[in-house]
Amino acid sequence: MEIKKIGVIGAGQMGNGIAHVLAVAGYDVVLNDISQDQLDASFALIESNLERQVARDKLSSDARDAALSRVQTTLDIAQVGQSDLVIEAATEKEDVKVKIFANLLPHLQPHTILTSNTSSISITRLASGTDRPEKFMGFHFMNPVPIMQLVELIRGIATDEETYRACLAVVEKLGKTAASAEDFPGFIVNRILMPMINEAVYTLYEGVGSVASIDSSLKLGANHPMGPLELADFIGLDTCLAIMNVLHDGLADTKYRPCPLLTKYVEAGWLGRKTERGFYDYRGETPVPTR
């Protein structure tokens, strides 16, 4: 099946990045959200990021204009149902995702493929609540989407080969690389990455090192481009905690127990860059460690 039109549900950080790369690759995109303000902000950000690519000679002006013309925003989820492929990119809460798919089902075409950008939630479980588990899979982009080259493709227990091949073709058209993952909590990237971040928070919690020393150690000692606490702030501490809880609940191993300090930061509403405070305070000219 040739995919031409793609619906993206959720116009947040991930959704706008996904819509951006799809439009540049030549797909018609329907971007949906429950907030008109969020849709307007997302479209403006796509426009700004495309302009930055033009300024850096990574995109022509004509290609920018063509990409923008392919992005349609809507509050009406029924319009998303007319797509060949749907990528759900809402918040990392299973009940929210289940409700979205339930609302979408009556409007789908028979051939529409459903996917979720979830970073850890069971694809098999999400698929089982739809009328097409064989046409459902995980389509996990990395953040920031326009820059990161990897996409995890996760088959649920019922996902058929045709669905996998269609999604793989989209990844290849985007110029990205697909990694096939089995449907276990956290898949590949977050199964490895989140326990590392959680361990960094434990290292801070136990007083082994400060925020600055922990991040410097991993940047200079392991050649990581970002320290683990800086990366946690970038991802969002609420997202990190949600993924650790999925790992802990799904694998029933105490090594995945979320650090109490991570929980405390989330309870405080210090979620990282998006709230201007996390392991760093971003309200000044330069980020300052909060511990």
pLDDT at 92: 87
Active-site residue, selected from the candidate residues 119, 120, 122, 198:
119
User: What structural domains does the chain harbor?
Assistant: 5-182 (3.40.50.720), 191-289 (1.10.1040.10)
Asked if residue 1 has pLDDT above 80, the reply is no
Of residues 24, 18, 70, the one with CA closest to residue 51? 24
The answer to whether 94 is a known catalytic residue is no
Active site residue 190: yes
The pLDDT value given to residue 109 = 96
- Residue list for the binding site: 10-15, 33, 92, 97, 119, 143, 274
Q: Which residues contact 232 (CB under 8 A, 6 or more apart)?
A: 197, 200, 201, 240, 262, 272, 278, 279
Out of 20, 117, 120, 140, pick the active-site residue.
140
Q: Of 16, 42, 190, 198, which residue is the catalytic one?
A: 190
Is residue 140 within a helix (H) or strand (E), and if so which, with residue range?
Answer: strand 136-141
**Per-residue pLDDT at 84:** 98
3-state helix, strand, coil in the chain (%, to 5): 50, 15, 35
Average pLDDT rounded to a whole number, residues 261-270: 98
Mean pLDDT of the chain: 97
Residue 152 is among the residues annotated as catalytic for this protein: yes
Q: Which two tokens stand for residue 67?
A: 């990409």
pLDDT at 139: 98
Residue 140 bears catalytic tag: yes
Reported as a pLDDT band with limits 50, 70 and 90, residue 69 is: very high
Binding residues for NAD(+): 10-15, 33, 92, 97, 119, 143, 274
